[in-house]
Amino acid sequence: MIVIIIGIILISGCQGTYSNQNFRTGTEGVVVEFNKNTKNVVYEREEFGNIIFIKNKGATDITAENPAVLKVAYDDYRITMVGNSHTVAITGLEGKNPWNPVGSEEPFETYFRANLLTNLREAAETEITYNLCYPYVTELTAMTCIDTNTATRSEEAAACKSETYNGGSGQGAPIVITKIVPEIQLQSNYVRPQFNIYIENRGTGYVTSADSCTSGNADITNGDIVGIVNVEAWVSGMPLQCGPSGSGTLKLSSSESFIKCYLPLNANGYSRDQKNYLTPLTVRATYTYISISEQQVEIKRDSTIIDRPEEIYDIYDENTIAQGKCSSFQVEYNGGCISKCEYCAKNPNDDQICGQNKPFDSFTFNQNFACACGLEKCNQLSKDGKCIKGYCPGNVYCCAANNCAEWQVSFNGECVDTCDYCATHLEDTARCGKNTYFQGQKCIFLTNGQVQKLLNLVNNKTASDDVLARYGYGTVSTADGCDFRNKYHCLNEQFYYEYLSPDNAGNAAAVSESDSNDLCSFCAGNGDCTFTNNGIEARISSDFSCSCGEEDSRYLESYNFVPEAKYCNNGLYCCKKPG
């Protein structure tokens, strides 16, 4: 009998203890945590090991069929990796569940050797980056009310009523379903429930729609896939359609975003003869999540080293030149040495050079990359796949230097005008808004006289209301989505040809009357123009005029002088003179 009891205890111990607590809570997924004894200060030629823990603190299992991937990136000029692979697949990492309410973890060891410093350096700092990519799911099941009593005057007490669900505490994942707002649509003798589902990134990483961390099919510099989650929903077990086209695709913005899920049009609604009742609503969001963890390491000089080479040139010092061969952050190109960053911007498909230290297979260089960012800026851009470390010298990092202008968006790795992009991507509400202002629009060059006529047509209602409504106008934002400084405006093309084009004889005289105005005067009168001078952004106010020569830039403050000659027509510059 004693043996049997001991056996039962041992078996139950192996199976774990069942917990009734809700394990789908919190806003963490898979995280990297450093051992408390992690070494941050080492000496030249010293070998040091790091133990990190990959912890699944969320409610989704990481499996062999769809593993997580950890990539280690470092500066091979300062340190050398010893014996380990830069990339490792992580499988069998169980998330939180009733038998394991805290999730599981897996240790990962890395070993490095500190390289020699130059003859002049006493210490140097470097960084080891751990890039973690993992597929994850946010899932929520809540009771919702099928409110058939919405449009009746029945005084009978209802069993339930529609209420907003708030899920701000999370569902055991970094992507959080923060709120669900139910709505009831009436259709003859039926009601059709629909749900506005609000979703937000509460984690410290970023989201991509790449279907697998090992697929390498997604370009995370492409704004089309960064921030994308796929949403599914069911009510009473019946699948709902989500999104305008039923695709279920939602692009997250920097704050809260929402998607509408509804009964398919060919599905029957709920009879209004029924009484109100509660039924389960399930929402599931799937995505790939990417997080970056960094370890700072200081390398100190070891004064006991006696076999130090006579000359070690520090490739990171401005006044030293690597002699005889290219340095570790350079490659030979056209008979000279250029940085790996510059080389990969020109040759992004050379995986032998440009595949080193890539955070993920999906990272892609483009022609805008250059050694142009500091550490803080690089950390900000890396979440969008626009910066990589180890391709430039010292504290300079390889990043997409030509970030899109304020009137542009990133599309297929390039910067395009928001107006032109949104004209064909109205479903992208994160970047185009929730109205149809951009439908049929494009960026069109306007003279100053045409701008004035446009303002008169719209703001002074010299065009009839039905004409304005036909082309989507109520008021005009002339800088909306185009290069306003170069006189491009977001307009309906048909509206332009009918009312503003100089080829239209009825408008030619009206346009030419005002065409002598310069852009400086126009901006001063409207207050809608900004400019940049010596890195300072300023606005053209009402006291600016075309009254300065180029030599005046020497004594005027940067915010009082527009350095571009195009603002004036007479060879002068737009400025604000003192007094």
pLDDT of residue 156: 63
In tens, the pLDDT along 322-335 reads: 344 576 678 888 87
Tokens at 132, concatenated: 């973690």
Q: Say yes or no to pLDDT of 220 above 60.
A: no
β pairing state of 165-166 and 387-388: unpaired
3-state secondary structure of 390: coil
Q: What is the DSSP letter of 384?
A: T
Separation between Cα atoms, residue 365 and residue 505, nearest integer Å: 50
Per the CB < 8 A criterion, the answer to whether 17 and 8 are in contact is no
3-state secondary structure of 574: strand
Q: Say yes or no to pLDDT of 213 above 90.
A: no
As a whole number, mean pLDDT of residues 262-272 equals 78
Q: Give the percent of the chain with pLDDT over 70.
A: 70
Which pLDDT band holds residue 212 (cuts at 50, 70, 90)?
low
* Domain boundaries along the sequence of the chain: 19-132, 135-291, 327-400, 410-517, 521-575
For the chain, the average pLDDT equals 75
How far from the centroid of its chain's Cα atoms is residue 398's Cα?
18
- The better pLDDT of the pair 291, 405 is held by 291
pLDDT of residue 8: 37
Per the CB < 8 A criterion, the answer to whether 126 and 79 are in contact is yes
pLDDT of residue 116: 86
In tens, the pLDDT along 502-547 reads: 554 343 333 333 334 567 777 776 655 777 777 676 778 888 888 8
How far from the centroid of its chain's Cα atoms is residue 575's Cα?
37
pLDDT of residue 423: 79
CB atoms within 10 A of CB 322: 14
Q: Where is average pLDDT lowest: 208-212, 407-411, 489-493? A: 208-212
Which pLDDT band holds residue 283 (cuts at 50, 70, 90)?
very high
As a whole number, mean pLDDT of residues 305-311 equals 64
As a whole number, mean pLDDT of residues 450-465 equals 58
Separation between Cα atoms, residue 146 and residue 281, nearest integer Å: 10
Amino acid making up residue 511: V
Per the CB < 8 A criterion, the answer to whether 68 and 135 are in contact is yes
Q: Say yes or no to pLDDT of 197 above 80.
A: yes
Separation between Cα atoms, residue 290 and residue 31, nearest integer Å: 10
Q: Say yes or no to pLDDT of 254 above 80.
A: no
Q: 22-31, 269-278, 299-308, 416-425: which has the highest mean pLDDT?
A: 22-31
- The better pLDDT of the pair 246, 241 is held by 241
Q: Quick one: CATH architecture of 19-132?
A: Sandwich (2.60)
Cα(first)–Cα(last) distance of the chain, in Å?
A: 104
Q: Show Cβ contacts of residue 574 under 8 Å, excluding neighbours closer than 6 positions.
A: 518, 519, 520, 523, 540, 544, 545, 546, 548, 562, 567, 568
Per the CB < 8 A criterion, the answer to whether 405 and 427 are in contact is no
Backbone angles phi, psi at 253, to 5 degrees: -95, -175
Q: Say yes or no to pLDDT of 470 above 60.
A: no
In tens, the pLDDT along 10-59 reads: 434 444 565 667 788 899 999 999 988 888 999 999 999 888 999 999 99
pLDDT of residue 338: 82
Question: Closest by alpha carbon to 425, among 436, 478, 226?
Answer: 436
- The better pLDDT of the pair 490, 169 is held by 169
pLDDT of residue 136: 95
